[in-house]
Chain A
Amino acid sequence: MRREMEVNMRKVAQCGILISLALVLSYVERLIPLEIFVPLPGIKLGLANIVTIFALFYVDMQSAVIISVIRCILAAMLFGSVTSFLFSISGAFASLVVMSLIKRGCDHYFSIIGVGVGGAAAHNVGQIWMASFLLHSTSVYSYLTVLLVASIVTGLLTGKISGSVLFQLNKLHVLKEVKN
């Protein structure tokens, strides 16, 4: 009983820390003027996805879902709108589903970079699906081509960063605490 409560409290604290980290990362990526280098409106690095990948690998699916949902709500309240919330939540769910599927094959077939790329691509598909749903039109899909190509680059980056973070933390043996 006591042990169970301790685990629960640890989980709540972990989720809180990871949500705030994800929120900071989604703020930081707004400061990066990516549109100067790549002339695509609405393109983002998806740095907050690093936190989701971390949660997916070292906490559990439940926490990963909680973290991304609360992050989406808070980010929309702080620097977004209702539409930006709908976009990010549909993207977040699509990427969570795809990333958890890819994670299952992580022992044999994929590396963590694959999780990043799959998550980024699924996020864009989810967003464009939501846009076409809101606008009652399929013509927004013409924009998906460039977004998918861009998502390979951003996914490689976030996957690589997540891999390095997990690798370093593994070396420090701090993840045993997180794992249970």
Chain B
Amino acid sequence: MITLSKKLRWGDLLLIAFVLGLAAVNFILFMPKGNADVTAVITKDGKIFREIYLQNLQERIVIEDKDRHHILIEAECGRIHFVSSDCPDEVCVKTGWISKVGQSAACVPAGILIKIVGKSSDTDMLLK
């Protein structure tokens, strides 16, 4: 029989500290970096589907995908987002605009990932 304590034990605090530490390490490794020379890479099921150079983008680019789900992606100068999707959770649309290197928006049901890459994304190369 396990004795239940209603109070926090020191192990709990240590665990919370550990999770915070893990979050910090994760932040350092995968931190979204400042936007210098950004390109949006759209991949579908891991294969590159389209690459858009976002810096100094003059016109608006709209990309449509009707394969598994009806998805609309819109890119404009320096940023990109999922406009709409008929997937069940719509996490991709709720993520909103992304613009910094390292940021990503994903629609897992459709297998589509938008990733912002730049020249400074060496940690990404390292971890692949």
- Please report A residues at the B interface, Cβ cutoff 8 Å: 35, 41-42, 57, 80-84, 87, 102-103, 105-114, 117-118, 121, 131, 134-146, 148-149, 151-152, 163, 166-167, 170, 179
A sample of 10 inter-chain contacts (CB < 8 A) reads A41-B95, A84-B88, A107-B3, A109-B11, A114-B8, A134-B111, A135-B111, A140-B106, A142-B32, A166-B4
Query: Is there an interface contact between A148 and B26, defined as CB atoms closer than 8 Å?
Result: yes
- Does B12 sit within 8 A of A, measured CB to CB? yes
For residue A106, which residues in chain B have a CB less than 8 angstroms away from its CB? Answer: 2
Whether B6 and A163, one on each chain, are in contact in the complex, defined by CB atoms closer than 8 angstroms, is: yes
Residues on A with C-beta less than 8 A from B89 are: 42, 81, 84
Contact of B30 among A82, A113, A134, A141 (CB under 8 A): A141
Determine which of A108, A134, A135, A167 lies in contact with B6 in the assembled complex, contact meaning CB atoms within 8 Å. Answer: A167
- From B13-21, B53-61, B70-78, the one touching the partner chain is B13-21
Contact status B9-A145, CB under 8 Å: no
| Known A106-B2, A138-B124, A179-B1; further 11 A-B contacts with Cβ < 8 A | A83-B108, A84-B88, A111-B4, A114-B8, A114-B15, A136-B45, A137-B46, A141-B30, A144-B26, A146-B23, A148-B26
Question: Do residues B11 and A110 form an inter-chain contact, with CB atoms below 8 A?
Answer: yes
Q: Closest residue of chain B to A143, judged by CB?
A: B104
CB within 8 Å: A-B pair count: 126
Q: What is the bound-complex CA distance between A136 and B124, given in angstroms?
A: 13
Chain A residues in 8 Å Cβ range of B26? 141, 144-145, 148
Do the beta carbons of B9 and A121 come within 8 Å of each other?
Answer: no
Q: How far is the CA of A57 from the CA of B1 in the complex (A)?
A: 9
| A139 and B45 contact, CB distance less than 8 A | no
Give the secondary structure class of A's interface: helix
B91 at the interface (CB under 8 A from A): yes
Task: Give B contacts to A, CB under 8 Å.
Answer: 1-12, 15-16, 19-20, 22-24, 26-27, 29-32, 43, 45-46, 87-89, 91, 94-95, 102-104, 106, 108-109, 111, 113, 115, 124, 127-128
Q: Is there contact, CB below 8 Å, between A152 and B19?
A: yes
CA distance A83 to B16 in the complex (A): 29
Closest to B7 in A: A111
Are the CB atoms of B20 and A152 closer together than 8 Å? yes
B43 touches A152 (CB 8 A): no
Q: What is the distance, in angstroms, from B7's C-beta to the closest C-beta of chain A? A: 6
A81 and B68 CA atoms in complex are apart in Å by 13
Contacts of B94 in A (CB 8 A): 35, 41-42
Of the candidates B4, B5, B30, the one whose C-beta lies within 8 Å of that of A142 is B30
Given A111-B6, A111-B8, A138-B30, the answer on whether A148 and B22 have CB atoms closer than 8 Å is yes
B22:A121 contact, CB within 8 angstroms: yes
Known: A42-B89, A138-B128, A144-B26. A113 touches B115 (CB 8 A): no
Select which of A83, A103, A137, A144 is within 8 A of B115 by beta carbon: A137
